[in-house]
Amino acid sequence: MPDFKDLPDLASERIGASVIEATDDFFAPKENLIKDSRPEYREGEFTDRGKWMDGWESRRKRTPGHDSAVVRLGAPGVIRGVIADTSFFRGNYPPYCSIDASADGSTWIEILPKSELAGDTENAFAVDSPWACTHVRLNIYPDGGVARLRVHGEVVPDWHRLGGLGQELDFAAIEHGGQVLECSDMFFGPKHNLILPGLARNMGDGWETRRRRGPGNDWVTVRLGAEATIRRVEIDTSFFKGNYPDACSIDGILPRTKMQPDTVHVFTDALTGHGPKEEIRLNVYPDGGIARLRVYGTATESGRWRAVARRINTRVPTEAEAELRSCCGSVDWVRGMMASRPFENDVATAAETIWWDLDPPDWQEAFAAHPRIGEAPDSAWSRQEQSGISSASGDARRALASVNAEYERKFGYRYIVCATGKSADEMLEIARRRLQNEPDRELRVAAEEQWKITMLRLMKLVA
């Protein structure tokens, strides 16, 4: 089986996925496609519509066309592979399938061309697509039954919807981009159970190793969703009563500590080594089961910038261009950023280099994309940045309008200042001082202010 199967299933109902529509599910409901359990077969069981089948099955198509089902993924992510499982569908499976993906549920991109299927088989297909998607559409040709659809990939969190990277978060959580990279053993319980949302449902809903009969201990390695400073760790042994680990440790964070059965262990004061972490290794002694692992902390600045790079890299081109335009109104800056994808971790340095390589008309184009200081903001970000204007007096507003006009008469472009955290009086005083500058000097100052704004707005992509 291809390596992608080791990645989280973004279409799992356990992380909130749902089948939102299907052209037809006459024989078996579309919701079965994303059930967490393996498909089963019930000999001799029928419904009022036909043979009971554990999957999605459409009626026999008597008109041109094909059937399809749309799945909203439980977490947005870059898809690395899919499995169209036709278990127990032998004379009624589709001979072909294809898969489309979408970043918004409306515009579709083909990620798997029309491909041949075998019956009663886990049909696995690698996917080569760089874009983070929120929906997939399974097309079957022309009709038939599919037991399960698995969509394996790497979660790319939508930090806006999750409240932003500035808050304390569980960075091991699958919905926050956490990923279990490897483990010593998972005979009784899969490793990714450790970081699923919510509480464990039973003993089978955690990570559990076989009984160790030799020296050593079992372990699991988790890559965090962002580099973070860890403040709190929770290790939950719920439902593990006769098979919990005797002790546990986390390399460089938590010393070897005695454990209890069926207990949520919370560690704060016992934590050591509070430096930034991108990965952690949980050790259990000598073996046993853990229901859930939670690793709470705050993202480092470098972690946030890496998240910015990942967001820009994985957006479909139209979305990436729109988000970059919201950060800087220069068409050539946006074009340069798009041409530089994919970014490595240091997106800020690349963005700054592109900015300072532009010509003065490009800078002035960016200045013009902002409302004048004191005018009605044209976006939520402008409202935040110019929040100091909201309490300004009528005299201050009139003075700002006057200084804006004087500035434009002298320099020929809009007065630009990084307004975040500044009052109306401060921005007025800054404008009056800058009116004393020579034109060449002032253009450079204005470009520096625009760059400050761009940096803040790039970070807001994950704030």
With CA atoms as reference, report the closest residue to 160 among 354, 274, 307, 375: 307
Global pTM reads 0.91
Per-residue confidence (pLDDT) for residue 1, from 0 to 100: 42
Based on the fold, state whether residues 28 and 85 are members of the same structural domain.
Answer: yes
Per-residue confidence (pLDDT) for residue 153, from 0 to 100: 97
Based on the fold, state whether residues 130 and 196 are members of the same structural domain.
Answer: no
Based on the fold, state whether residues 30 and 11 are members of the same structural domain.
Answer: yes
Question: By the 8 A CB rule, do 35 and 18 touch?
Answer: no
Q: Which of 133, 155, 177 is the last residue of a domain?
A: 155
Based on the fold, state whether residues 309 and 455 are members of the same structural domain.
Answer: yes
Question: By the 8 A CB rule, do 183 and 207 touch?
Answer: yes
The mean pLDDT values, 10 residues at a time, for the chain of 463 residues are: 84 96 97 96 93 96 96 98 98 98 94 98 97 98 98 95 93 97 96 96 97 96 97 97 97 96 96 89 98 97 96 96 97 98 92 98 97 86 86 88 96 96 93 97 98 97 93
Based on the fold, state whether residues 234 and 289 are members of the same structural domain.
Answer: yes
Based on the fold, state whether residues 14 and 147 are members of the same structural domain.
Answer: yes
- Assign residue 440 the CATH number of its domain: 1.10.3330.10
Based on the fold, state whether residues 51 and 123 are members of the same structural domain.
Answer: yes
Domain presence at residue 63: yes
- Assign residue 241 the CATH number of its domain: 2.60.120.260
> How many domains does the structure of the chain reveal?
3
Task: Report the interhelical angle of 317-327 vs 331-340 (nearest 10°).
Answer: 130
Based on the fold, state whether residues 369 and 292 are members of the same structural domain.
Answer: no
Based on the fold, state whether residues 315 and 370 are members of the same structural domain.
Answer: yes
Question: Which burial class, exposed, middle or buried, applies to 301 when counting CB atoms under 10 A from its CB (0-12, 13-18, 19+)?
Answer: exposed
What is the span of the domain harbouring residue 83? 3-155
Based on the fold, state whether residues 240 and 331 are members of the same structural domain.
Answer: no
Per-residue confidence (pLDDT) for residue 339, from 0 to 100: 97
Based on the fold, state whether residues 176 and 146 are members of the same structural domain.
Answer: no
Based on the fold, state whether residues 207 and 104 are members of the same structural domain.
Answer: no
Per-residue confidence (pLDDT) for residue 183, from 0 to 100: 97
Per-residue confidence (pLDDT) for residue 358, from 0 to 100: 98
